Structure 1
């Protein structure tokens, strides 16, 4: 699966990815048998095998875990065995596609595991090589899932769904992995335009000083120091008669920290600070590709938090779109500033639900680590629904408390509020409470995500990662489809 932006940022999104994925997963019924089992069922399976297979596994000291290639009497590959702890884990088979010799493999597994295995197979094909001179031309294996109990339609639906999930994951990863020099606000706008063209959506852009004339002052303040002009990207899709869902994504394309500049170690991965925008674009692609009966709006405040003679300063007071005044305590707490104007705009339409994604706080990473995204919500039922949806598809999310007594921690003596608390404790909570001041009456979910893998896991390479978008999509699909 080549990265979406591999050859040309301006090319049509998914033009190569669709064919790549279709070539890697199909509903055919031919190929070398690939048996995938859980550890608990290995002994039972082994009893049904012929003496040659039993002898081979015994002589190769196979212990009932991992990959085994079994030959026939002529030494040719006759079947493949892959034993895992939990076959319902959507990433358990994530490295399998790169471990097997080229060829087609016919899946032998319990029907309840077909989707999870297929998803792991496809996301495991992902690699980001846009800047590699001598690209590897590794030929990947193909997985055939056969006909689901003679129901070709069911198998086709599984393949179609899994391909769309993998495409959205790849899009999110690609955008985050792209270096900031090639993923500034104008580039993010181009990607959004391309996505809109693919699904017949409409996009408008409010750029530069027009942000001031149209009353988006905090987006302008954060982005004005950069030569890459700040903007608000606004995508709309779907029938206006359907329930409206508005997605808001933090699009800080690089975060130096501003005048409160980050140390070099803290700045090294800040190309990922637009990860929130990558997440909402991936989620939007899922929604549009499945043609969910909703009226979708996507708002992305896209900026670079740079250092220049006109950068906003600690101690400045900015009047937000909502009219609340904010004293700048720290210029490195810029994400909530660009989000607050976008959230205020999002609520103007009175949507049924606002969902924002942001790489907002290191405090969330301290609390939950880098691989479990935390989220906040003002609606218990929605929070439970998203959590349950994620737990079924290996996309776990964890609800955090909107603990209102912390609300006064960002009080100001000269303005309505500061942009962050003076002390570091409960930073993810106070950031969420800041955002909540700009969502008065609408059901709202706020995701604070890492957007980056700092270690390789099965199906999850180092670099950009999608957290929570499959959980949210499954929740929305169950609620509105």
Structure 2
């Protein structure tokens, strides 16, 4: 059930009592809870009866260890109507946001959204901020959930243009063989076999004199694995391989809606890694924008190739901060699972800021090492570098080290190896496309540039 935020409660609003045990319950609700076997289980709600069959409020169980995101279950646990928190939440923004996120549903293909639950903003909450965060998360989720039949490179470009119009940003696009003329050979090579032409999408917003913040998102709209073809089970979720692009667009939406004092640039190499007679091959050597030659050890490691050309372009103007996000490696999932994306940076101050924001926003991220000795494993006998290692070890680390070769001038750089997907329902969102890390990054950027 979608959630509508209202500025203040009316006299018809019903109270939500968030409890972790019977001792937290109002005195007049304790007997009712006992009679109904309600023991404040986390994520469970018990409706309280009023006079003449009316509702008087609700008890909602929440394990304190679960954090504010557990409040997202309220969106589905409560009946339609107007509600408010009986006791002020410790973090009013995050409490309200969690409920809104829990009401998300992907409705493009006929699922009915239902009537909205109305939630009064808790005291101290910034309603505008909650809305822009929710809008950014929902944009990322919607883009990832859309199948490749409706989210190819053409459609991803349209989504960028729609976002740009909403915030008076500018967009330029280099498409097809023009990529070769403009020196983006690896983006062209990865995407040339697809029915829709590969492209580099470039969005700009904000005063030119402001600090430059550049976001680069992997936009592989579908990944067959190329000629080193994936098995069917490996392709099943590959509509989400543009999750990096979806997430940087969600973050860009938050930044622009907040009016942060930055010169924002968003670069998205949008391609489909398809199979055709002109597909790039294992063993090929590709030129890159930066002049580094890359031997192709595996065509299924294509994301780092398109990112490398985009990062090289971004790096040329020496941005103050350069961030890339990509659904890059299965190795990251093996190491940390689907809910905890690793990030890489050699900037200690930036790493500390990201970690602090991650904790405060309950948006999990975990720093991993750019372990330089592993870079030797990307050696090639015929080119400057290989796009994969041969031993299969530390795949997420070596992918980050590969990308690092294409960044030299940026004041600070960070790489986020996200999954972009939730394999199961959670209180703050259903299974499916997910925004990861962008709420933490919004907080970090707001602290820096507001």
On whether the aligned pair clears a TM of 0.5, the verdict is: yes
Q: Please say if 1:59 is aligned against 2:35.
A: yes
Of residues 265-274 and 78-87 in structure 1, the stretch that sits farther from structure 2 once superposed is 78-87
Aligned twin of 1:463: 432
**1:88 to 1:200, Cα distance in 2 relative to 1, 3 A:** farther
The 5 Å alignment of 1:16-27 reads: 23-27=4-8
* Contact residue 45 and residue 78 of structure 2 kept, 8 A: no
Aligned twin of 1:222: 190
Aligned twin of 2:9: 28
Aligned twin of 2:355: 387
State how far apart, in whole Å, the 2-side matches of 1:236 and 1:355 are: 15
**1:137 to 1:166, Cα distance in 2 relative to 1, 3 A:** closer
1:140 positional shift: 2.8
State how far apart, in whole Å, the 2-side matches of 1:197 and 1:427 are: 38
Post-superposition Cα deviations, 1:366-385, rounded to whole Å, max 9, x if no partner, equal 00001101110120110111
Aligned twin of 1:474: 443
1:111 positional shift: 4.2
Q: 1:114 aligns with which of 92, 96, 118?
A: 92
Q: 1:445 aligns with which of 414, 430, 437?
A: 414
Q: 2:318 aligns with which of 344, 350, 375?
A: 350
1:88 positional shift: 7.9
Q: 1:166 aligns with which of 121, 127, 134?
A: 134
Q: Please say if 1:240 is aligned against 2:208.
A: yes
* Contact residue 136 and residue 254 of structure 2 kept, 8 A: yes
Post-superposition Cα deviations, 1:442-478, rounded to whole Å, max 9, x if no partner, equal 2100000000011111122111000000001100100
* Contact residue 212 and residue 321 of structure 2 kept, 8 A: yes
* Contact residue 249 and residue 276 of structure 1 kept, 8 A: yes
1:27 positional shift: 2.4
* Contact residue 339 and residue 364 of structure 2 kept, 8 A: no
For the residue of structure 1 that corresponds to 2:215, the secondary structure is strand
1:480 positional shift: 1.4
State how far apart, in whole Å, the 1-side matches of 2:249 and 2:330 are: 23
Q: Please say if 1:84 is aligned against 2:58.
A: no
Q: Please say if 1:317 is aligned against 2:297.
A: no
Aligned twin of 1:130: 108
* Contact residue 295 and residue 383 of structure 2 kept, 8 A: yes
State how far apart, in whole Å, the 1-side matches of 2:167 and 2:121 are: 29
The 5 Å alignment of 1:142-181 reads: 142-145=118-121, 148=123, 154-155=124-125, 158-181=126-149
1:387 positional shift: 1.1
* Contact residue 316 and residue 409 of structure 2 kept, 8 A: no
Of residues 278-287 and 456-465 in structure 1, the stretch that sits farther from structure 2 once superposed is 456-465
1:397 positional shift: 0.3
State how far apart, in whole Å, the 1-side matches of 2:233 and 2:346 are: 35
1:87 positional shift: 8.3
**1:324 to 1:348, Cα distance in 2 relative to 1, 3 A:** same
Post-superposition Cα deviations, 1:246-305, rounded to whole Å, max 9, x if no partner, equal 000000000000000000000110000000000100000000000000000000000000
1:313 positional shift: 0.6
The 5 Å alignment of 1:275-424 reads: 275-424=243-392
For structure 2, the 5+ residue unaligned runs are none
* Contact residue 217 and residue 325 of structure 2 kept, 8 A: yes
State how far apart, in whole Å, the 1-side matches of 2:19 and 2:54 are: 26
For structure 1, the 5+ residue unaligned runs are 2-19, 149-153
Q: How many residues align?
A: 447
- Stretches of 4+ moved more than 4 A in 1? none
Q: 1:97 aligns with which of 62, 72, 75?
A: 75
Q: TM-score, normalised by structure 1?
A: 0.90
State how far apart, in whole Å, the 2-side matches of 1:470 and 1:73 are: 42
Q: TM-score, normalised by structure 2?
A: 0.96
